[in-house]
Structure formats: C-alpha cells, structure tokens
Homo-oligomer: A and B are copies of this chain.
Amino acid sequence: MSSPIDETRELQARIEALVGAGDLAMAGSLGAELHPSDLADVVERLEEAAQVALLSALPAELASEALAEMEEGEERGDLLAALAPEKGAELIGELADDDAADLMGELDPPEQQKILEVLPDRTADELLGLMRYDDETAGGLMTTDLVAVEGSLTASEALAEVRRQGREVLDFYTVFVVGPDRTLLGTLRLDQLIMADPASHIESLVEEPDATVGPEEDQEEVGRLIARYNLASIAVVSPDGVLLGRITFDDVIDVIEAEQTEDILRLAGVVDEEQLRHGWAESVRTRLPWLALNLLTASAAASVILIYEDVIDQVLTLAFLAPIIAAMGGSSGTQSLAITIRRITVEGSGSARGFVLKEILIGLVIGGVLGVGIALLAVLVNGDPMLGLVVMLAMWGNQVVAGFAGAFVPATLDRMGVDPSVASSVFVHTLTDLCGFFLLLGLASKMLLGG
C-alpha cells in the first residue's frame, strides 16, 4: 500500500500537468479528490491565468476552500480580484464568514465593493461587520456561525435545537448556552451534551467558560488562552456579555505558528514579514533595511577602535582580541534575549526585575569562566600576563553587560508597547560591541600603556 502522502503528491502532479495541457475539466474532477489544503498547494504553484482557469473549473465549494487554505497575503488577494466579480462573490458566499472576511480584507476597497454589490445584502452586511475588526484581533479571527441554545431547555430539546442549527454551521465542537438576551451563560462540549440525561436542564449542566475574550483582544492572547485551557473553541463576547462569535482551535494553531515564525525571523533581523515563498527581490527588500541599520551600528561600535588606534599600534594582539570579545558578548546577549523574549511571551514582562537580575548573575559566572579562557589564550599568543588580566576583565565586564542588556532591553521595549523581538537584537549587539571594544581598549590603554 502506498502511503497517503505519496498518493497526494502524485495526484497534485497530475493535476498540474493537466492544467498545463489545458485539460481543465479533467483537472477539476481530479481536484475534487484532494483535501482543500493539498489543492491549495497546486494552485499556489501555478501562474495567475492558470490559477483563474483551475478555480473556475472546480466546484465552487472546493474552489473556495482551496482559496481559503492558500497562504494569506497579496498574491491571494490578486487572484480573487482576477476572477469575475460574480465568480468571486460565489466563492466568498460559500466560505465560513471568518475565512470570507479574511479574503475580502486582502482586496483593495474598489475590488471589495465589486464583490459586495453582487453578494446578497444579508451576507454583505455580515461580512462588513467582521471586516471592521483588525486582522490580528479576536474579532478578526472569529466566525459568527455557531450553535447556541437557551439554558432553559432540557438536554433532549437542546439536542434537537443543535440538530436544527447545525445544518448551517461548519465543524462545531462546543454548544454555547445563552440567556434570552443572548448573554453567554456558559459552554457545553458536544460529548457532554450527548452523555447528559435527556430530561436534565441545560442550566444544570452548563459550565462557566474557563475563558472568554473581547473582540478587540490580541490574537496572541487568544492563542495563549486556548492552549492553556485546552479549548476546542472560545467564545468572543461583547463588554456587556453578549455572545458575538467563536474562535476554534484550528484558527489558533495557525496563529501560534505564524506568531512564532514572526518571532524567530524578527530575532534574526528579518523585521518585515518575509514569506517563505517570496522571490529574491522581495527578500532583499525585507532584509536590507535591517542590515543597513546594522552596518551603521556596527560601524559606530567599531569606531571605538579608531579612537584607540595608537593602543592597537603598540599592542597588535589587541586587533585579534577585540573581535572575540565583541562576538562573545553578542553570543551571550542573544542567548539572554531569546530566553527573555520567550519568558515575556509566556509570562508577560511583569516580573522583569527578577529575570534581569538572574541574567546579570549568569553573566557574572559565565564571564568569569570565559574570561579565564581568553586570558590564557592571550598570554599564549602575546606572553604579557598583564594583557591577560586586561582581556579577562574586558570579557567579564562585557558578559555582564550582555546578560543585563539581553534581559533589560526586551523587557523595557515590551513595557513601552514595542514588540521586543523586532528591535532588541540590534540594541543588544550594539551595546555589547561598544562595551566590548571600550572595555578592552580602555583597560589596555590604562593598564598596559599607563594612558
């Protein structure tokens, strides 16, 4: 038996070949055998004209799901805009409202207008309601399609109501229990409802939700709550407690992955979102600004070397030692930074004082060890024990700076409301470079040359 993954790959290749050969009818009917996520891969690999042709050849239900599963961004918006407005509206109409709103958000306003005009008024109003919310908030993630029952029903009445409402709702795992004014009373997982005594009242079964969010809540917090309380879905409620929508675990997995990709890339100095499939020119555009800034800061730090040129002239070994001290400061600073940014993500920056002190302590210990190492190396190369002492002190001091900066900078940026993963790295490296050069060359000037 060949594995399902191989089968999927083979089917994808055949569909691509059929689209290439212009046999859209056959491509469309083979496409129906793929999961929308796998079909989205095929669509993403095609040229725009072929994308439009394939989507038009597929059943609208599948074409819309494939569109929803494509990577978010400009390319997807362009594709939707390239379809006839009637076709675009048909696909949008097929989707769950959260996916539909996301897609619409990727269009320019005039293109949005064209599709909204073709949609039924009710659908258009619903979409406009969701499109108000920022993409990265709970409102931007939520769907208003959900199953809600009143607390006064019995379990068997509720089950009948769930069956009635469920026809309109995709994938629900949780039933929301509401009062007559649609204020949220609590939640009931489907398995709990099925297991309940049919005559018991829902009010007596319902559990207060472990967590709810407001529509303006940041998506990162939504992810944190769903992960913490193992929720299949979380209710979005208005400030006065009215149920507005739900967010399910699958949306949140996407958010967690996207946020963490962002964290990794930002920490590495890719500030703007570089999408993995970007072309080289786009990649240059997203990376160059940070590198240019980095060239400035690295040059500024290295200019300490220019100031102390005469010291280096007299002790050339310092030209060998300076980059090592700076590099080790950068390495330790990056370690502190990575740990601290994770702590801020997980715990918030409230306990900042504690972790700054801890990083300073770690810097003291590690700096002592590394200081002895580099001192031995310096004496081996140069023979002067005093140079050994100088370089030991410089390494030690710079490791403490690295620990302090690696924890203090991101905690401070976070409190100022700036994402610490964006700017921390450049601050920390500039500081460790500057201090490393100053400590080494300043101490050498004093202790070796009596400057």
Q: Does A306 contact B (CB under 8 A)?
A: yes
CB-CB nearest 3 A-B residue pairs: A268-B338, A230-B250, A260-B260
B362 touches A287 (CB 8 A): yes
Contact pattern, A 226-263, Cβ under 8 Å of B = 1, otherwise 0? 11111110000000000000000110111011001101
Q: Does A379 contact B (CB under 8 A)?
A: no
Within 8 A of B (CB), among A264-322: 264-265, 267-270, 274, 276, 280, 283-284, 287-288, 290-292, 294-295, 298-299, 302-303, 305-306, 309, 312-313, 316-322
Given the contacts A159-B194, A264-B264, A306-B381, A210 and B269 also touching, CB distance less than 8 Å: no
Q: Does A153 contact B (CB under 8 A)?
A: no
Q: Does A166 contact B (CB under 8 A)?
A: yes
Number of copies: 2
Q: Does A386 contact B (CB under 8 A)?
A: no
Q: Does A346 contact B (CB under 8 A)?
A: yes
B322 touches A323 (CB 8 A): yes
Which of the listed residues A211, A269, A280, A361 has the most CB atoms from chain B within 10 Å of its own CB? A280
Query: Interface SS of chain A: helix, strand, loop or mixed?
Result: helix
A335 touches B365 (CB 8 A): no
**Which B residues are CB-close (under 8 A) to A299?**
324, 374, 377
Number of interface residues of A (CB under 8 A): 102
| Option from B253, B294, B335 in Cβ contact (under 8 Å) with A253 | B253
Minimal Cβ-Cβ distance residue in B for A306: B320
Minimal Cβ-Cβ distance residue in B for A333: B268
Q: Does A27 contact B (CB under 8 A)?
A: no
Which of the listed residues A284, A339, A366 has the most CB atoms from chain B within 10 Å of its own CB? A339
Given the contacts A267-B268, A381-B306, A373 and B328 also touching, CB distance less than 8 Å: no
A264 touches B260 (CB 8 A): yes
A298 touches B338 (CB 8 A): no
Given the contacts A250-B249, A264-B260, A295-B370, A276 and B339 also touching, CB distance less than 8 Å: yes
B323 touches A298 (CB 8 A): yes
Contact pattern, A 361-396, Cβ under 8 Å of B = 1, otherwise 0? 110011001100110010001000000000000000
**Which B residues are CB-close (under 8 A) to A320?**
302-303, 305-306, 309
**Which B residues are CB-close (under 8 A) to A190?**
173, 190-191, 194
